[in-house]
């Protein structure tokens, strides 16, 4: 894989989960990391202490002024923005008849509007330099629905389509845009959502053909590829990284055949 040596990468939701794993991987590949999150976590502080080229901006992705300020500060300090990865997200949802309007707005604002605002904040810079790679973090639930996931699924489906439109609109300016669609990944968000639903957790593990949840580092590997020059002719793509969750249904037959 081509490394990311001296590439300037802005990562939203960088302080935990997938965002932090991507920050670590990008740093290993030589990138300069600009992390954005609502709060600085202990895990981020440890990463920052061990990384030479690293900055942190406390910012909520629904706050356009904060996101724009972080992007402007990045350009002021480093002269360019080569990569944007949008990992900020929340997982609240529920069936529509049980979902209040405030929850719907919160999920759409963070997951979809936050992605829009983050992309918008870097586009002028990327257009001027006629290069850039934008990697959005969507979800398999933005491709196939799940029970009770109305707001979350709608937000991630919107991220997938927004990604395609960015690829269409800005490809001739040298800007690529792709989405990663993770399956069920072992993150604090997953534990928060599944904590009260042990039967659902078991069913997801069974339907994930590799028989386990994914690791944030496995998403980071895909994110590193999409950001790198190895993906120079890849744009508008939704890369599914889900351990086979969306490959098809399991009905216990492989167990009967001893394929476990």
Residues annotated as part of the active site:
152
Integer-rounded Cα radius of gyration of the chain: 18
Angle between helices 150-170 and 114-129 (to 10 degrees): 10
Give the C-alpha separation, 207 to 200, whole Å: 10
Q: Is 95 exposed, middle or buried (0-12, 13-18, 19+ CB in 10 A)?
A: exposed
- The answer to whether 96 and 150 are in contact (CB under 8 A) is yes
Give Cα separations from 14 to 86, 121, 132, 146, 241 (angstroms).
Answer: 9, 17, 19, 26, 19
Query: How long is the chain?
Result: 260
The residues, ordered by sequence, that sit 6+ positions from 118 with a Cβ below 8 Å of its Cβ are: 10, 12, 36, 61, 67, 84, 86, 88
């Amino acid at each position: 894989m081509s490394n990311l040596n001296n590439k300037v990468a802005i990562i939203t939701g960088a302080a935990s989960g997938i965002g932090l794993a991507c920050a670590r991987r990008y740093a290993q590949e030589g990138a300069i990391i600009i992390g954005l999150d609502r709060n600085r976590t202990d895990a981020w502080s440890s990463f920052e202490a061990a990384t030479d080229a690293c900055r942190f901006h406390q910012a909520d992705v629904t706050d356009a002024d904060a996101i724009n300020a972080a992007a402007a500060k990045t350009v002021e300090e480093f002269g360019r923005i080569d990569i944007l990865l949008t990992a900020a997200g929340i997982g609240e949802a529920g069936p529509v008849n049980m979902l209040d309007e405030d929850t719907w707005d919160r999920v759409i604002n963070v997951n979809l509007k936050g992605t829009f605002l983050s992309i918008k904040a870097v586009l002028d810079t990327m257009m001027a330099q006629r290069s850039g790679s934008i990697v959005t973090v969507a979800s398999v639930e933005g491709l196939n629905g799940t029970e009770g996931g109305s707001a979350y699924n709608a937000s991630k489906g919107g991220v997938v389509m927004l990604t395609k439109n960015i690829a269409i609109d800005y490809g001739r300016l040298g800007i690529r845009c792709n989405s990663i669609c993770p399956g069920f990944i072992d993150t604090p968000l997953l534990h928060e959502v599944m904590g009260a639903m042990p039967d659902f957790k078991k069913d997801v593990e069974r339907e994930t053909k590799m028989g386990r949840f994914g690791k944030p580092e496995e998403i980071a590997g895909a994110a590193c590829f999409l950001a790198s020059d190895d993906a120079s002719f890849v744009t508008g793509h939704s890369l599914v990284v889900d351990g086979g969750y969306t490959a098809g249904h399991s009905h216990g037959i492989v167990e009967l055949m001893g394929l476990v």
